[in-house]
Structure formats: structure tokens, C-alpha cells
Copies of this chain bind each other. A is one copy, B any other.
């Protein structure tokens, strides 16, 4: 294992300390590193809280700030945060209008956020499950929540900033999740610091098609194909799943898993855009970059989110976080 670290036990806390110091204008760290919260709270606004295992940076801490999340709870690497983290975060950021938890669909996350929700008043939840690769998976009953979670957090974050109330935010989050589909492919495995070796073995000429963001298996192991062939199959899976809803304006989001350079991500975007547009989708918004990662895994995912005027307006609304910033 080759990583910049001092010891396995302190990787996460040292990284969080650096993150908080680098973005002290936007966010502060809760005690015992339990959560990252927005520095300036907005009274009367519904508080958005997300979180999950670490190792997917900038998700979720990088999305804390004006127009997006009020708090994020980082678990250990690829391990759900504990309910006391969500309770502490809710206590720190709820200004009286209630909390919405945004939870990726993994059994540990769902259980722990649910437990925290039951111990709190005025909490609703949105569970994301945008990954069309597999129906059930290593850590999941039902589909996995992956890069589409960013889209839910951005759009619901904008609406919350604008003063939309809790039940409507929950409905909006569910609607965005329902309009969003993703699928990924890995060329290499990431390495969890505490494990000290790659999560899975993969041969020089191979790819894991439909991989999860913890390196969990996808649809199949296959020989590495051309970018166009990979994108063609991912887009077909997404379009097939959306069925006759796959038309009109959409956000195309090509996401790197950590070890894949921008040059390749833009090449994949170019291919995906052409294929989606050939099928009647109009790409009206784009995001290309390394946002929802699996440590140092090489690979990428493609996300398509169907848009309408309302969703486009929330997507475009100002956001000021460590990892996404515009309009401010």
C-alpha cells in the first residue's frame, strides 16, 4: 500500500482536520470529528444532513455549505457513521424547521440513519438508489445509492436554502432520485488504509462492469473494451431502465472514482453525450469530475438526471461548498 499517511488509525482524523482548516470560511468540525457542519446556519431553514463511510471524498463533507448540506457525518472508511453522529449533527444544525436526512441505500447507513431519525423529532429521510447495475449487492437490499446522490443533495439543498418546507423537500428529493440513474465501471481496485491491500484483484486486461463505490461486484468481470463500447452499454442500461421517460432535458454527470484523470473523463463524457442525444435526450446541464469516489480506484460512472424547469432552476442556484461552487 502506497499512501500519504502517518498511521492507519489517524488517516481519517488528520484528513478531516486539514479539510476543516482549509475551508474554515465555509464549515466547522463537530467535537470528536462526529460531523462537519456549515459555519453560518440559516435560521428557519430545514437542515439537510447526509453522511456515510469515508473514502468517497469529496462526498459528503465537500458538499457542506450554502445551498447544499448543513452537515455531513463521516464514518470510518467504507463504514457507516453511527447514530450518535447523526444525532449530534441534527442537534448542531436544526434551527427549528426540522431535518432531512439524505442516505445512500446501504444496509448499515439505512439502519443507522433510521435509528437516529427515530430518536429525533421532525426528521424525514430520502434514500438514494440510482445505481442500475445490480438489483441487490454486497451491502445492499435493492439498488445502491451512488453518484446520483450528489444531484439529490444539490437540488434539495437549493430548495431548502430558498425556504421550502420539510415535507416538500422530502418529495423533491424522492422525485430527483426517481429521475436519476447511474452505472459505473472499474479498471483497478482502491485500497482501504486499514486493509493495506486492494479490495479486489483485477487482471491487466480486465474491467469490473457495474462496480459499486466500495469496489463491490457489478454485473460481470469482462475484458477491457473501448471507451465507446463501455459507454454504449452503460447508456443502454440507463436508457432501458428509464424506458419511455428517457427523453427531453437532462443533466449528464461523468464522475471519476479517484484514480482516473480528467482527460479520460471528458472522453467518456463526449461519447455518452453523443449516445444519449441520439436517443432523444437533450443534455442541458453537465458535470464532469471526481466527486463520488472509491479512494484511489481507477474508473468512472455515468449519471443521467432528467430535468424540468424547476429542477434546472435548483441545479443552477448558487452553491458554496468546498467541492461545488458557483453563483457566489
Contact = CB atoms under 8 A, between A and B. Distances in A.
Interface of A: 2-7, 11-12, 14-19, 21-23, 54-55, 57-58, 62, 187-188, 204, 207, 224, 226-228, 230, 258-271, 273, 283, 286, 288, 290, 293, 295-296, 298, 300, 325-328
Nearest to A229: B6
Contact of A4 (B6, B54, B57, B268): B268
- Dominant SS among interface residues on chain A: mixed
Contact of A264 (B4, B224, B271, B288): B4
B293 A5 contact: no
A11 to B, nearest CB: 7
B260 A296 contact: yes
Please give me the 8 A-B residue pairs with the lowest Cβ-Cβ distance, nearest first: A18-B270, A18-B266, A57-B262, A4-B264, A22-B286, A2-B187, A18-B269, A15-B267
Contacts of A187: 2-4
B298 A260 contact: no
A296 B14 contact: no
A267 B4 contact: yes
9 contacts: A4-B230, A4-B267, A6-B226, A6-B227, A18-B288, A55-B261, A259-B259, A261-B293, A325-B325
Given A2-B187, A268-B4, A21 B286 contact: yes
Nearest to A228: B6
B5 A266 contact: no
A288 B57 CA distance: 12
A263 B295 contact: yes
B18 A273 contact: yes
A264 B6 contact: no
Contacts of A273: 18, 21-22
A187 B187 CA distance: 19
A107 to B, nearest CB: 24
Nearest to A272: B18
Given A5-B226, A5-B267, A262 B14 contact: no
